[in-house]
Amino acid sequence: MRSNRNQNSRCGRLRLLALFGLVAAGLLVFPQSAAAMGSPRTAAIQVGLKARGLYAGTIDGLWGPGTARGVRRLQWRSGLAVDGVVGPRTRLALGRLGRPLLGRRAMRQGLVGWDVSQLQFMLAWHGFPSGTMDGAFGARTDRALRRFQWFARLGVDGVAGPATLRALRSPLPTSPLPVSSPIPAPVGDRFGPRGSRFHTGLDYTAGYGAAVRAARSGRVRIAGWDNGGYGYFVVVRHGAGVYTWYAHLSRIAVSRGQHVSRGSRLGAVGATGHAFGPHLHFEVRYRGAATNPLTALR
């Protein structure tokens, strides 16, 4: 009897250690909601402050010391009451990037404003980043918006009106199919804001030449060089609208059209394209939307 209790205790400790290990590695995750993306309003404040040299942090929509300090410095410079509250007069001090409020107008290419900053932030979190989040509705924001409208099954007109904003307030997209980790290595940079831009996947910090394997069975859609910064990369189609991307490879071991099984070798870790040191950039996309891979990893 005592032996059984000791064995159960040991098993319990092992399960607990395994759980802690998954949490530490970032591989134990919970369902993702729109709340995970932070506040679009706070992101707009950060964009406006950064444009005036009053904020140097990440456009992450999280109210922290840097954002609070920037707001107070803006108020002091503008001769306002330094209370740290972003009301109408403080927004007015941000100039074009402090107005209008989200929803007051339909947004389209050529506009600049507080609402555009929020639009860019929400588009990025829903898997359609538009480059730098700067409050200016340019060609890249237009392309991102149209891709999101197609994803959300809306009319693709490049105008962000009430229907588009409602869709952007819905839960963040996730992959309907589970995937495995493509490499047994720690995760460095994760899915989310990075500076004034957005990181659309996970960066695995693996050594140069380490084997990169298919996260799920499927067919190779792309295997080659990307001029946009991914370097040598592979894209595998898995069905149900799900694709996985493997970037910055040093070499590729598959060809376009080839069927691969889960765990098949696709290539090797490198530092090609826009990469600072060897690592694997891994993405999970669903119907064109870049989703947080951690929500799909099993």
Q: Domains plus CATH for the chain?
A: 35-168 (1.10.101.10), 192-295 (2.70.70.10)
Q: What is the pLDDT of residue 36?
A: 77
Q: Write the CA distances from 179 to 13, 88, 176, 251, integer angstroms.
A: 27, 47, 10, 22
Q: Token match 């929020």: residue? A: 118
Where residue 18 falls among pLDDT bands split at 50, 70, 90? Answer: very low
User: Are 98 and 48 a contacting pair, CB within 8 Å?
Assistant: yes
Phi, psi of 127 (to 5 degrees): 100, 10
> Above pLDDT 90, what percent of the chain?
86
Residue 125 or residue 31, greater confidence: 125
Where residue 225 falls among pLDDT bands split at 50, 70, 90? Answer: very high
Q: What is the pLDDT of residue 15?
A: 41
Q: What is the pLDDT of residue 272?
A: 97
Where residue 37 falls among pLDDT bands split at 50, 70, 90? Answer: confident
In the predicted model, what is the mean pLDDT of residues 16-35? 39
Instruction: Identify the CA nearest to 127 among candidates 170, 160, 158, 156.
Output: 170
Q: What is the pLDDT of residue 298?
A: 82
Helix H or strand E segment including 231: strand 231-239
Q: What is the pLDDT of residue 22?
A: 36
In the predicted model, what is the mean pLDDT of residues 79-105? 97
pLDDT at position 6 over 80: no
Q: How many residues does the chain have?
A: 298
Q: What is the pLDDT of residue 13?
A: 45
Q: Write the CA distances from 208 to 223, 271, 272, integer angstroms.
A: 19, 8, 11
Where residue 33 falls among pLDDT bands split at 50, 70, 90? Answer: very low
Evaluate if pTM is beyond 0.85.
Answer: yes
In the predicted model, what is the mean pLDDT of residues 155-164? 98
- Spatial distance between the Cα atoms of 262 and 258, rounded to a whole number of angstroms: 13
pLDDT at position 190 over 70: yes
User: Are 129 and 198 a contacting pair, CB within 8 Å?
Assistant: yes
Helix H or strand E segment including 167: helix 162-168
User: Are 34 and 170 a contacting pair, CB within 8 Å?
Assistant: yes
Report the greatest alpha carbon distance in the chain: 77
- Spatial distance between the Cα atoms of 151 and 285, rounded to a whole number of angstroms: 12
Q: Write the CA distances from 55 to 43, 64, 68, 148, 194, integer angstroms.
A: 11, 11, 9, 29, 14
pLDDT at position 17 over 80: no
For residue range 240-269, list pLDDT tens digits in order.
999 999 999 999 999 999 999 999 999 999
